[in-house]
């Protein structure tokens, strides 16, 4: 959902008229990267459910629970630039495999947590060391090893990992929590990461393989723009604010809905898992369906889609707070996930369409940082709101309404783009 959206850097080389053949190596590459992303999102999303059980054992506050969630994004943000430098020096494959190994190590260590400070530190390290290098490395694999006409489809497939993880995480983690406890939930993640890491190690091609099969390896890039030039562009900062806002909504929703359903609505862990999985399915439909609809029917009208979808997402989430019926809550939360996904994918299509190739890198880095900051601020802020209200969640849903209104406001300033000027 945030900075982990896969965007292949635009090329200055003109694509050939004929479509490149989809080879077995291409399919294998995308499948392996997709599997890694499933693991990335599994580790990221599972913590919101696991923390409910940990809170019962440790008795830490909602603010402390939010700090655990935010620590991940602080670590993630701190290592964006170093991860990019390491990618250049070590190569994408090494970092992709390393990410899986690091997830396994930190997940295994989490299973031995005895205090909230320990898990805060572990999640910080997981964000900084395990997660920070995967998305840029996967983007480099797509940009350098796939023909130009196949990159968009590959991007869509990799993005869908977020929605699929949103479905499988609650269905897998919730029963483990109920039957075996949070320690084994972490160890399950560790084992799965080891398996995925082995797959990446032996399936991903080396840096030089596929070079003869694609035109991407010989692509000449225009000189990168100076950061001083990029930071003067209003459009970049508008997308920064927008990405911050929508990620604050999404990560607030993803990380705190399990707690809301179990602690406030008084649903069982299993029922919560089913509702959350349905929400993940709605997010998947919104991601894939939304991107197709916007690309086909709303080119140049992204501001309208973003504004409308953001308001619908916020209103849907607020309606969930007005009902105690699990069916109505499921519909409201699923609608919130659907429209937030549509908002996000439409917003993140703008850099691909409108950023100049020589400015893409630094421009996208600024936009991605906005999303990371949203993930840092929102979980802790929600925890504070819940604690201030003595465990009530009504102000959390008012907070979502405010985020939706801000998203609508930012969308009004998005300039139009015609097909002729694309």
259 & 158 share domain: no
Helix H, strand E, coil C: the string for the chain is CCCCCCCCCCCCCCCCCCCCCCCHHHHHHHHHHHHHHHHHHHHHHHHHHHHHHHHHHHCCCHHHHHHHHHHHHHHHHHCHHHHHHHHHHHCHHHHHHHHHHHHHHHHHHHCCCCCHHHHHHHHHHHHHHHHCCHHHHHHHHHHHHCCHHHHHHHHHHHHHHHHHHHHHHHHHHHHHHHHHCHHHHHHHHHHHHHHHHHHHHHHCCCCCCCHHHCCHHHCCCCCCCCHHHHCCCHHHHHHHHHHHHHHHHHHHHHHHHHHHHHHHCCCCHHHHHHHHHHHHHHHHHHHHHHHHHHHHHCCCCHHHHHHHHHHHHHHHHHHHCCCCCHHHHHHHHHHHHHHHHHHHHHHCHHHHHHCCHHHHHHHHHHHHHHHHHHHHHHHHHHHHHHHHCCCCCHHHHHHHHHHHHHHHHHHCCCCCCCCCCC
User: 194, 217, 240: which is the final residue of a domain?
Assistant: 217
pLDDT at 109: 95
Answer with the one of 197, 217, 237 that is the final residue of a domain.
217
Listed in sequence order, the residues at least 6 apart from 208 whose beta carbon sits closer than 8 Å to its beta carbon are none
Q: Using CA atoms, how far apart are residues 422 and 419, in angstroms rounded to an integer?
A: 5
- Chosen domain end from 217, 236, 254: 217
The answer to whether position 2 is within a domain reads no
Name the domain count of the chain: 2
**Which pLDDT does position 272 carry in this prediction?**
83
The reported pLDDT for the residue numbered 348 is 76
Q: Specify the pLDDT at position 255.
A: 78
Q: Are residues 194 and 247 in the same domain?
A: no
Does residue 169 sit in the same domain as residue 269?
no
Instruction: Check residue 227 and give its pLDDT.
Output: 62
1 belongs to a structural domain: no
15 falls within a domain: no
* pLDDT score, position 3: 46
CATH of the domain at 418: 1.20.1250.20
Judge whether 96 lies within some domain.
Answer: yes
**Same structural domain for residues 208 and 288?**
no
Q: Does some domain include residue 422?
A: yes
249 and 172 part of one domain: no
Question: What's the average pLDDT block by block, 10 residues per block, for the chain (422 residues)?
Answer: 46 47 79 92 88 86 84 84 71 89 95 91 94 79 69 66 82 88 93 95 71 45 58 85 93 83 84 85 80 68 87 92 85 92 82 65 73 84 88 89 94 71 44
pLDDT given for residue 228 in this prediction: 64
**Residues 257, 141 share a domain:** no
Same domain as 193, residue 173: yes
Q: Which of 220, 240, 259 is nearest to 65 (CA)?
A: 259
Domain that holds residue 147: 22-217
Handedness of CA 107, 110, 116, 121 (dihedral sign): negative
Question: Considering the domain boundaries, does residue 9 fall inside one?
Answer: no
Query: Are 391 and 280 contained in the same domain?
Result: yes
* pLDDT attached to residue 89: 74
The verdict on 206 and 233 lying in the same domain is no
In-domain check, residue 3: no
> Are both 65 and 210 inside the same structural domain?
yes
Judge if 255 and 308 occupy the same domain: yes
Same domain, 225 and 321: yes
Q: What's the 3-state SS for 312-381?
A: HHHHHHHHHCCCCCHHHHHHHHHHHHHHHHHHHHHHCHHHHHHCCHHHHHHHHHHHHHHHHHHHHHHHHH
Measured CA to CA, the distance from residue 330 to residue 307 in angstroms comes to: 23
The answer to whether position 5 is within a domain reads: no
């Amino acid at each position: 959902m945030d900075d982990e959206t896969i965007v292949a850097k635009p090329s200055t080389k003109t694509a050939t008229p004929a479509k490149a053949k989809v080879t077995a190596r291409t399919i294998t590459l995308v499948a392996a990267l997709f599997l890694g992303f499933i693991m990335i999102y599994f580790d990221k999303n599972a913590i919101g459910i696991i923390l409910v059980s940990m809170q019962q054992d440790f008795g830490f506050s909602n603010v402390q629970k939010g700090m655990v969630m935010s620590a991940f994004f602080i670590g993630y943000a701190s290592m964006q630039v170093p991860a990019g430098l390491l990618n250049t020096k070590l190569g994408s494959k090494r970092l992709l495999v390393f990410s899986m190994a690091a997830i396994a190590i930190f997940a295994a260590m989490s299973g031995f947590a005895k205090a909230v400070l320990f898990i805060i530190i572990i999640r910080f390290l997981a964000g900084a060391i395990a997660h920070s290098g995967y998305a840029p490395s996967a983007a480099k694999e797509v940009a350098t090893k796939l023909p130009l006409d196949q990159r968009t489809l590959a991007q869509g497939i990799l993005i869908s990992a977020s929605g699929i993880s949103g479905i499988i995480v609650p269905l897998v983690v919730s029963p483990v929590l109920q039957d075996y406890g949070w320690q084994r939930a972490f160890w399950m993640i560790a084992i799965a990461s080891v398996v995925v890491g082995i797959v990446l190690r032996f399936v991903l091609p080396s840096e030089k393989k596929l070079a003869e099969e694609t035109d991407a390896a010989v692509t000449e890039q225009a000189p990168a723009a100076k950061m001083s030039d990029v930071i003067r562009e209003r459009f970049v900062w508008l997308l920064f604010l927008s990405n911050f806002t929508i990620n604050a909504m999404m990560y607030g929703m993803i990380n705190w809905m399990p707690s809301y359903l179990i602690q406030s609505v008084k649903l069982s862990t299993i029922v919560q898992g089913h509702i959350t999985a349905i929400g993940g399915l709605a997010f998947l439909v919104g991601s894939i369906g939304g991107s197709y609809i916007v690309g086909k029917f709303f080119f140049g009208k992204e501001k309208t889609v973003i504004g409308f979808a953001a308001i619908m997402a916020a209103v849907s989430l607020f309606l969930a707070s007005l009902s105690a019926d699990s069916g109505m809550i499921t519909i409201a939360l699923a609608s919130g996930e659907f429209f937030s996904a549509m908002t996000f994918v439409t917003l993140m299509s703008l850099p691909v369409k409108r950023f100049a190739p020589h400015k893409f890198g630094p421009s996208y880095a600024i936009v991605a940082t906005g999303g990371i900051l949203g993930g840092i601020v929102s979980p802790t802020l929600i925890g504070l709101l819940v604690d201030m209200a003595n465990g009530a969640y009504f102000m959390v849903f008012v907070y979502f309404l405010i985020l939706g209104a801000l998203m609508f406001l930012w969308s009004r300033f998005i300039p139009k783009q015609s097909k002729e000027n694309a």
